[in-house]
Amino acid sequence: MTAARDFLVEIGTEELPPKALRSLMEAFTANVGAALGENRLEHGAVRGFASPRRLAVIVEALAPGQADRSVTQKGPPVSVAFDDAGKMTAAGLAFARKCGVEPSALGRTASDKGEWLCCDIVERGLPVTELMPALVESALAALPIPRRMRWGDGDAEFVRPVHWIVLLHGDRVIDATILGIPAGNRSRGHRFLGGASVEIDSPAGYLAALEDQGRVIADFERRRALVEEGVQAAAADAGGRVVDGPALYDEVTALVEWPVPLTGSFDADFLKLPREVVVSTLTGHQRYFPVAGADGELLPKFVTVANIESSRPDLVRDGNERVIRPRLADAAFFWDSDRRSGLASRQDALREVVYQRGLGSLFDKSARLASLASRIAEDLGAETEPALRAAALCKCDLLTGMVGEFPDLQGTMGRYYALADGEPEEVAEAIGEHYRPRFAGDELPASPSGQVLAIADKIDTLAGVFALGKRPSGNRDPFGLRRSALGVIRLLVECGLDLDVQQLIGAAVDLQPVAGMDKADVTASVSAFVSERLRHYFLERDPALSAETFEAVMARQPSSLVDFDSRLAAVQAFVGHEAAPSLAAANKRIGNILRQAGTEQGESIRKGLLVDAAELELFAALQAARDDVQPLLAARRYTEVLARLAGLRAAVDRFFDDVMVMAEDKATRNNRLALLMELRSLFLDVADISRLAIG
């Protein structure tokens, strides 16, 4: 075989979806890397590249093919391969022919299920020229593409029509057809600036050839860095700084192959609009970067990134400015017209808008939110009136022209319109905050009523969709239920809201208008779903937290997530205590003893039956510990509880060293089991530490 060489695959397409480009690049790279490993192909670094019209992967030092390997072929059972006279049967002879050896060369292998014929053969490795086309096809087929399209009269399917394929191993083209396109060594440059055909001599020269001949920067990360650097420099030249840059950098990078930042401006009168409206108009519709001054206030300027280096940049700038003016004018029109009718005047119209088939209208949704919000506010000792008023109005902005044009402003515009209507600030803030957190890492509501309404909204969504039987499956989660569950968890834990989650879920399920649903089953399903997200939340929040620690607390099923969080912290601290390994092992041993004894409930301890010094010592230690920890448990000072119980180690160790629990005398045996039950229950008041893997 020849030496290892770099490998290149490039899939040339029509413009790919900008919001998905990075994920497609990363998935394609990961898929190729995984397939190389599965196919026993040695290689170096695997790097991915992407631009609006291409996905590419370069594999450094890819072996010319698979190495040969020895494989043991398993044949028919010996009882089938030979007859009663010991002569090889047709089955045995057929196996020898299949292996390409004489019957006498066959071996035997035995197991507890019998004995079989076998043959050690050398499996010849395949060359990359045979392996890579299918490997690339499988990597493309596994990309996260929700909906594939066809083009022309072929059967190939991809996220966008494919126009060219580059497939090289070193300087040699791999002869193949992928997605209906013959592979070659010719790529394509920028639509307007570069050559229509760019010859790729080798994978190592891929990036340079595209940049020099094609005016395409195919390295996504380098192009993003150029976009970010150029946009920030342009904003600085305009006397300000970029607003919401991180949210746009990836998408703009996915829109351009040769980034050229330009600064534009608009009429300062548009700054009278709410800040979020201006920002959403610039970023959402045009992918422009807003610019703010040193005081944080928006300037009547923006930065755009062109995909062309024009000899007349003023014309490009003028074109972008002409595009944004009518967008801002539309926003100003909606702002003025929406305020002519108050939010409350839109309540009845909510009856005509279906929230979700089977769950009623937006008016019905608002009524359920009001019921849940009232309950939550009462449980938290908060004011109910602001939450009730906010629940009645929080969906009304969905009927405004502004939100119809800018859906991402739902809630935000409700806040502005509520303030314009003279609603109390607490009500307006709750309306503006009740969708939070919208995504991982998003801010949580700051106002008490906003927190109450946000929990109610998400719990109602979970209960309603589960009641309809539309639960998430695999990667499909069209209703964003995982996001809703995580939002509830973050609100309760991070805002310190001490609520009974099970009761809250049950109350939400009771309000759902789904006929014939099994309320107990729906409640249990939602609870299990939230518990699973709870696991992810805590384990991702703290990398030092072990799954065993989480399960130790989960075994007690605390109803309050604030309480759950406190127990976790206590068990984590306990794990580091020197007595933890011994006491965890003892609790595990106690659990086994009680199960084997056929009881988890033991009888009451009868002091008169305690005769052994070790069991008397443990009894006294338990009594003292119980008296000490009761007030600590009531105050949820779990760390102190476990620290106090750690002091039982010596008495527990001595008990197991000196005492035979399963004594022949039934009364003595039951009394000792009761003693162990008392010990176990003390720990179970916090967590099931027998689940901990320590030492």
| Angle of CA points 190, 193, 199, to nearest 5° | 55
Task: Report residue 59: phi and psi, to 5°.
Answer: -110, 120
pLDDT tens digits for 417-461? 999 999 999 999 999 999 999 988 899 999 999 999 999 999 999
Contacts of 94 (CB under 8 A, 6+ apart): none
Residues 6+ apart with CB under 8 A from 605: 619, 671, 674, 675, 678
Cα(340)–Cα(377) distance, integer angstroms? 32
More confident residue, 693 or 56: 56
CA distance 548 to 169: 48
Exposure of 227 in the CB half-sphere (CA atoms within 13 A): 29
Reduced to 3 states, what is the DSSP secondary structure of residue 82? strand
Q: Report CA 645 to chain centroid distance, whole Å.
A: 38
Q: How far apart are the first and last CA of the chain?
A: 51
Alpha-carbon distance 268 to 283, whole Å?
A: 17
For residue 279, what are the CA distances in angstroms to 180, 195, 262, 300? 43, 37, 17, 11
User: pLDDT tens digit string along 57-66?
Assistant: 999 999 998 8
Least confident of 186-190, 600-604, 636-640: 600-604
Residues near 293 by Cβ (< 8 Å), separated by ≥ 6? 239, 240, 299
Residue 289's pLDDT band (cuts 50, 70, 90)? very high
Q: Classify residue 435 by its DSSP letter.
A: T
Q: Per-residue pLDDT averaged across 49-69, rounded? A: 94
Query: What's the confidence (pLDDT) of residue 375?
Result: 96
What 154-157 contacts at long range (C-beta under 8 Å, 24+ apart), as own/partner pairs, is 154/180, 155/180, 156/180, 156/181
Note whether 258 and 309 are within 8 A (CB): yes
Least confident of 5-14, 347-356, 682-691: 682-691
Which pLDDT score, from 0 to 100, does residue 100 have? 84
- Residue 2: pLDDT band with limits 50, 70, 90: low
CB 434 within 8 A of CB 390: yes
Nearest-angstrom CA–CA distance, 385 and 383: 6
pLDDT of residue 340: 95
Report how far residue 212's alpha carbon sits from residue 197's, in angstroms, rounded to the nearest whole number: 12
Q: Which has the closest alpha carbon to 491: 531, 469, 458, 467?
A: 458
Q: Which of 382-391, 397-406, 630-639, 650-659 has the lowest mean pLDDT?
A: 650-659
> Which stretch of 111-115, 146-150, 246-250, 318-322 has the lowest confidence by average pLDDT?
111-115
* Residue from 620, 544, 592 nearest 691 by CA: 592
Distance from C-alpha of 530 to C-alpha of 151, rounded to nearest angstrom: 43
pLDDT band at residue 476, thresholds of 50, 70 and 90?
A: confident
Show Cβ contacts of residue 575 under 8 Å, excluding neighbours closer than 6 positions.
546, 549, 692, 694
- Min mean pLDDT across 272-281, 415-424, 619-628 is at 619-628
Tell me: pLDDT of 607 over 90: no
Residue owning tokens 């494989």: 71
Say whether pLDDT at 161 is over 60: yes
* Choice between 146 and 210, residue whose per-residue pLDDT is larger: 210
Q: Hey, is 68 helix, strand or coil?
A: coil
- pLDDT, residue 325, reads 96
Residue 512 pLDDT level (bands cut at 50, 70, 90)? very high
Contact (Cβ atoms closer than 8 angstroms) between residue 307 and residue 257: yes
Inform me whether the pLDDT recorded for 72 exceeds 70.
yes
